């Protein structure tokens, strides 16, 4: 068996719309490199400034380089009948596949990811980025973030993986024992095979190319397979109409949720009825009662002028209020968790020492109200500026979700080695998106549900 070990450099860091600026291929026969190909590529598009800073490849360097269409025959030849190997293989594979797609060529190869293999064969390492792996395994890495340098390092890494593969992990990844998947009649097997096991969104298209469903997943391939085996009438009808599936990787569930929300509003797919919400849901409210005690509760959003947060269901509101009540030792009698008048005197939380006794006048209303305000401020993001740092689409990058003055600005990706010294620099890395109550709810829920979320707040002036 022969392997085509590949690395590409591109015009940007996002998954979609990337064009190749450099490509390197090393043909490896299991023992040594038997052939090589390397070229700069004219992307016929501008290279982003942060990528220029990362790779050193600028627009002048590629101006006289061949276009991808000119080197396409070599790429086909060097990868034909070989396993496509790369570090974070889905990134390189999909960029190349999209380049061929623009030329009207269907590019399909078996894939092998050295990140996934490394995690199996060298478990327990702190990081599996190429740079950190090379450091851990004493692999020389020359010309980092250049296609030839990264490919040469990946070749040595692959040699070490083969030498230490005691449990035949490579064989397992190339020949998974999943059986033959029953695909929709109109869907090509190559389309399903190309789906990644990573977070992101996916688009089901009909025979005319129209998007009929948008979904999000932590594992795209696994989630898509779930549609095929679901016997609900709606799912059967969806799969019957599906002729093609596209996808975009997100790196994290948070970015996938934001991408899905935007895509559904943009395309309005026929099978996304459950997510085409005309009902705005329920808002969390705060008010002061006759005793001077601040109460929290929920109601339909049209009855809540300035909601602290917005949710689609009553159950989500209750879970939110339960979380605040427990975290800030609030009284459930005043957070709409106990029906009015159903409990006289001490609440159950007081008996468990989780309420400080405002319900039995052992705590003053003013002291209690300070904690309520603290609880509200901890979750209310309508005036805050911050960035949520998430996992990137590859181990070489990290994701960003940016909120400025309480308005969602968008998401993006940057190299893991990039240091942000000025908060406003985040804007250089994001794709601008529309802000609305849905995306703000998604971001707020993420922060509430992930206590260890990495958040960079804008410094106060």
Mean pLDDT value across residues 258-284: 82
Sheet of 83-86, strands arranged across: 33-40, 20-28, 3-10, 83-86, 111-113
Q: Is the pLDDT of residue 176 over 70?
A: no
Mean pLDDT value across residues 75-86: 96
d(CA 49, CA 63): 16
Nearest to 410 by CA among 402, 420, 418: 402
Q: Are strands 3-10 and 83-86 parallel, antiparallel or unpaired?
A: parallel
Q: Confidence class of residue 190 from pLDDT cuts 50, 70 and 90? A: confident
d(CA 243, CA 184): 8
d(CA 384, CA 87): 37
Q: Answer with the residue of higher pLDDT: 421 or 103.
A: 103
Helix H segments across 107-197? 114-121, 130-136, 147-163, 169-174, 189-193
Q: What is the pLDDT of residues 133-168, one digit of tens each?
A: 999 999 998 988 899 999 999 999 999 999 999 999
When computed from its CA atoms, the radius of gyration of the chain, rounded to whole angstroms, is: 26
- Indicate the fold that domain 189-275 takes in CATH: GIY-YIG endonuclease (3.40.1440)
- The number of angstroms, rounded, from the C-alpha of 47 to the middle of its chain's C-alpha atoms is 23
pLDDT score of 420: 85
Q: What is the pLDDT of residues 418-439, one digit of tens each?
A: 888 889 899 989 999 988 878 8
Q: Is the pLDDT of residue 280 over 80?
A: no
CB 101 within 8 A of CB 108: no
Q: Confidence class of residue 274 from pLDDT cuts 50, 70 and 90? A: low
The model scores a pTM over 0.85: no
Please report the DSSP string for 51-82 in residue order: HHHHH---HHHHTTSPBHHHHHHHHHHHHTTS
pLDDT score of 277: 55
Yes or no: domain 3-174 corresponds to CATH 3.30.420.10: yes
pLDDT score of 173: 84
CB 122 within 8 A of CB 137: yes
pLDDT score of 96: 95
Q: 457 in helix, strand or coil? A: strand
Q: Is the pLDDT of residue 383 over 70?
A: no
Q: Confidence class of residue 446 from pLDDT cuts 50, 70 and 90? A: confident
User: Which CA distances in Å does 90 have to 39, 68, 124, 196?
Assistant: 21, 19, 23, 7
Q: What is the pLDDT of residues 19-73, one digit of tens each?
A: 999 999 999 999 999 999 999 999 999 998 888 988 999 999 999 999 999 999 9
CB 175 within 8 A of CB 167: no
d(CA 99, CA 105): 9
Q: Confidence class of residue 189 from pLDDT cuts 50, 70 and 90? A: confident
The residues spanned by each domain of the chain are 3-174, 189-275, 282-379, 386-457
Q: Confidence class of residue 346 from pLDDT cuts 50, 70 and 90? A: confident
Three-point CA angle 72, 221, 9, nearest 5°: 35
Residue 437 sits at φ, ψ, to 5 deg, of -65, -30
Q: Answer with the residue of higher pLDDT: 171 or 156.
A: 156
- CB atoms under 10 Å from CB of 438, counted, come to 22
Mean pLDDT value across residues 279-305: 89
pLDDT score of 54: 87
Per CATH, 3-174 and 189-275 having the same topology is answered no
């Amino acid at each position: 068996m022969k392997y085509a070990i590949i690395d590409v450099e591109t015009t940007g860091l996002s998954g979609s719309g990337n064009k190749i600026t450099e490509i390197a291929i090393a043909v490896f026969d299991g023992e040594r490199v038997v052939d090589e190909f390397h070229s700069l590529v004219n992307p016929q598009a501008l290279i982003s400034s942060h990528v220029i800073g990362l790779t050193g490849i600028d627009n002048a360097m590629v101006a006289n380089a061949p276009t991808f269409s000119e080197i396409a025959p070599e790429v086909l030849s060097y990868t034909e009948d070989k396993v496509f190997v790369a570090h974070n293989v889905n990134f390189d594979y999909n960029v190349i596949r999209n380049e061929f797609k623009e030329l009207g060529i269907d590019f399909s190869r078996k894939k092998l990811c050295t990140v996934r293999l490394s995690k199996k064969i060298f478990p327990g390492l702190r990081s599996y980025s190429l740079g950190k792996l090379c450091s851990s395994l004493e692999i020389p890495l020359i010309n980092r973030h250049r296609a030839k340098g990264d490919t040469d390092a990946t070749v040595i890494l692959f040699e070490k993986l083969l030498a230490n593969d005691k449990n035949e992990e490579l064989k397992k990844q190339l020949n998974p024992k999943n059986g033959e998947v029953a695909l929709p009649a109109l869907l090509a097997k190559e389309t399903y095979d190309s789906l990644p096991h990573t977070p992101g969104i996916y688009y089901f298209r009909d025979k005319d190319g129209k998007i009929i469903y948008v979904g999000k997943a932590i594992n795209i391939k696994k989630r898509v397979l779930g549609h095929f085996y679901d016997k609900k009438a709606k799912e059967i009808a969806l799969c019957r109409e599906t002729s093609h599936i596209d996808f975009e990787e997100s790196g994290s569930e948070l970015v996938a949720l934001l991408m899905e929300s935007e895509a559904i509003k943009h395309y309005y797919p026929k099978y996304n009825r459950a997510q085409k919400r005309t009902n705005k849901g329920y808002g969390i409210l705060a008010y002061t009662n006759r005793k001077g005690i601040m109460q929290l509760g929920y109601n339909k959003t049209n009855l809540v002028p300035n909601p602290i947060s917005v949710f689609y269901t009553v159950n989500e509101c209750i879970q939110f209020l339960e979380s605040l009540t427990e975290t800030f030792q609030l009284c459930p009698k005043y957070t709409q968790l106990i029906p009015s008048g159903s409990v006289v005197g001490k609440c159950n939380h007081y008996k468990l020492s989780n309420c400080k006794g405002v319900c039995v006048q052992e705590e003053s209303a003013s002291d209690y109200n300070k904690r309520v305000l603290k609880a509200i401020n901890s979750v209310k993001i309508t005036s805050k500026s911050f960035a949520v740092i998430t996992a990137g689409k590859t181990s070489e990058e990290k994701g960003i979700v940016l909120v400025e003055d309480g308005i969602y600005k968008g998401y993006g990706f940057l190299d893991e080695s990039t240091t942000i010294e000025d908060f406003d620099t985040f804007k250089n890395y994001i794709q601008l998106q529309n802000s609305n109550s849905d995306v703000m709810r998604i971001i707020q829920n993420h922060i509430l549900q992930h206590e260890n979320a990495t958040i960079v707040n804008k410094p106060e002036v």
